Structure 1
């Protein structure tokens, strides 16, 4: 049994940043990663960066297999860079193996060379999340079923793709494959499309995706999936009618679950919720002293920038004044990388009405923005909610080109309590999408 200062289980964004920081403090760190294909975590290997790379290549008209090869070269480069970022530190040991708890403060790591056991002063769980496969008869067993990771590793473009799930991930993949040339059908149990968004926004998104050739079947109950020699048959009911469609690939995009099944949590007092996510307090501490959970494995928003911010909380607790906590985190922006992108921060009209919050809504069609004309893409709508008394921005939904950049400016204005009039009167370069704020907040 080796005694160490810190063990970090998982090489994700929060964990690797923490490991680098602890190393710079001269502390001993053991980082355990189950797969040597996951150095750097989910984002750079199987999620954000490779998917966005493929999305951009689809918009650029690149052939699918060539785009996949380019994506693989990029992830290999980043994976190697991330490995050496930690492995080259004198006080960091990177172990390839499966970590599992012996008890609250002891961990064993099964490697190809045997089993090593550690007792640590601090343990950080950063194992991320895995795709959920719904218990639809025949789906998991189908040789034509793909999860989001497998979908990006296909060497041949599917001719006929069915996506199960009309959430943000499902829509990103649906749009990407449609642009590469696949015939895409999206199935979803919910009758309402993008129910979290305002109706005018969701309707605009749906129309643009349908114009891309995507077919939506909403309010469906999938009964089963059956393979045949050419692909799979998907059987579902809609409006009381039984429907059968064919696909040569099925993409399951129905959420993610915590990656904890092999951690041996049953040997500890670490508590989880009903979905299996590790419970944490305001300082990201688990129910066991000196054991923390960071990133997707603790539940909540599953973004790499949230995992990075988890590191900031840990840093504040261990080496700062302890004032930065989970409850300090507010108004988190997000973007959906369909084309054009959909980005949001803070409240929309649905939420404001439900919470009886007084607001003034500001709207600007993207067609009214000169840069959109220059870029030859005038699709979309910008919306913002403003408090009529304080002039504070309550939230914004931006559906249009470059919204993934603009939303960060709005998020900064909200967090720093910058009035809408300041964004309205700011001098922006021209022609840019950001100068739309002159008119949006007018």
Structure 2
């Protein structure tokens, strides 16, 4: 490679949602762009072992649950026993992943982005090594290396029995007993997958409520729904370790001052993720992460090192693929001299269980903590025609608005398809819309999304279909 071939306007280290999107947008804007990624397949954790494969498993497990347990009640008669072919399930999941990662690779090639496969490391003065060999240099460098799973020091993952989500999306058999440590999005999603496939699933959560960060009303409703589905959930429970009891592994925890032991064939540790900057060479350019491992940036994604920017899971804010994507686009536009922007107040958060959970903006508790006078509107799905017709009445829509201006401050949904519904609330919040705006937006009938309209009306006590 000649000197001109190895010199770029922008080099992105990390090919996940933030990195590859940033690279594509840079290329669209006419910048000569390089993308460095250690995985053979682009897409990062999200496409390879996270968001996408887990959604494939969620979908298939819901189909299996219906066929095995709910079909007869719906009038669908299945002749013979419904059985699970887990190999076919995993093959389908892998096919989905391959299709999407291949699609990203095609997009990168089409945009003329130069791909470097290997571990990227900063060398200073705009230079980057790939697998410890100097490979390229760039005027602007974007760090987008994502995150890694958090381990428990007293319960180290071995990749076989004590596992992370990386392994829990690829079990070769259904564990009889699965213990999930952590009731966040990853733990709840994968816990529900394996429960549908036949595992006895026990979820252990240190905090008072599952789905930390959700509105309290939402997390309580969700917990009731999961318990109806057969999951055992322990909140306010502190895991302390594991030991063999009668020849079987048990996870040991403390609850209400008493020790409990939960038998486990597999243990999924899902207590969070941390910024991944291992071997990135930050010290070479004078960048020192904070105590939690995050790289500090200004409002334009600039780090303390000239010409080096950072986005996604390695900087402040929620560790979400769509947040990283928005940052990637905004930063690319800034580098190209345009006015890139991310509205952090309207980034939705979703848990893709059944029912799904989706939220944006402030929770009721957060609004009160800020001293904001609020009005709240709720609408239960038990009163929604489409939800009743679809056997999907577990859920609610909750709208939080400013008491003085009626401006929407937050929206929270538990519903089938909540991940798709939340965008409507995000859109209204993006332009500063009010609860009345939401309530007067015409919705097709019958749809579950009518619950959003009704919740908007309920803010002022004007819901039509609730008492």
TM-score (ref. length: structure 2): 0.87
1:346 aligns with 2:361: yes
Q: 1:275 to 1:210 in 2, by over 3 A?
A: same
* Residue of structure 1 aligned with 2:385, choices 370, 387, 390: 370
* Contact persistence 1:333–1:344 (CA under 8 A): yes
Answer yes or no: is the 8 Å Cα contact 1:159–1:248 preserved in 2: yes
The answer on 1:233 being equivalent to 2:250 is yes
Q: Matched residues in 1 for 2:409 and 2:262: separation?
A: 44
Distance change (3 Å), C-alpha of 1:239 and 1:436: closer
Report how many residues are paired. 434
Matches within 5 A, 1:200-215: 200-215=217-232
The gaps in structure 1 that reach 5 residues or longer are none
* 1:187 to 1:158, Cα distance in 2 relative to 1, 3 A: same
For residues 110-189 of structure 1, what are the structure 2 equivalents within 5 Å? 110=131, 115-136=133-154, 138-141=155-158, 143-189=160-206
The structure-2 alpha-carbon separation of the partners of 1:256 and 1:104, relative to structure 1 and needing over 3 Å to count, comes to farther
Return closer, same or farther for 1:190/1:25 CA change in 2, 3 Å cut-off: closer
Over the aligned positions, Cα root-mean-square deviation in angstroms equals 2.2
Secondary structure at the aligned position of 2:131 is classed as strand
Q: What is residue 406 of structure 1 aligned with on the other side?
A: 421
Matches within 5 A, 1:156-305: 156-226=173-243, 232-305=249-322
Q: CA deviation at 1:372?
A: 0.2
Residues 84 and 438 (structure 1), Cα distance of their counterparts in 2 relative to 1, 3 Å cut? closer
Displacement of 1:143: 3.6
Instruction: Tell me, in whole angstroms, the C-alpha distance in 1 between the residues paired with 2:414 and 2:401.
Output: 18
The CA deviation at 1:5 is 2.7
1:330 is paired with a residue whose SS is helix
**TM-superposed deviation, 1:25:** 4.1
Instruction: Decide whether the 8 Å contact of 1:7 with 1:122 is kept in 2.
Output: yes
Match of residue 349 from structure 2:
334
Whether the 8 Å contact between 1:142 and 1:226 is mirrored in structure 2 is no
Instruction: Find runs of 4+ consecutive structure 1 residues off by over 4 angstroms.
Output: 227-231
Between the aligned partners of 2:217 and 2:33, the Cα distance in structure 1 is: 50
- Distance apart, 1:220 and its partner CA: 2.6
> Structure 1 residues 99 and 142 mapped into 2: Cα distance closer, same or farther (>3 Å)?
closer
TM-score (norm 1): 0.92
Aligned to 1:395: 410
Q: Say if 1:110 and 1:183 are closer, same or farther in 2 by CA, change over 3 A.
A: same
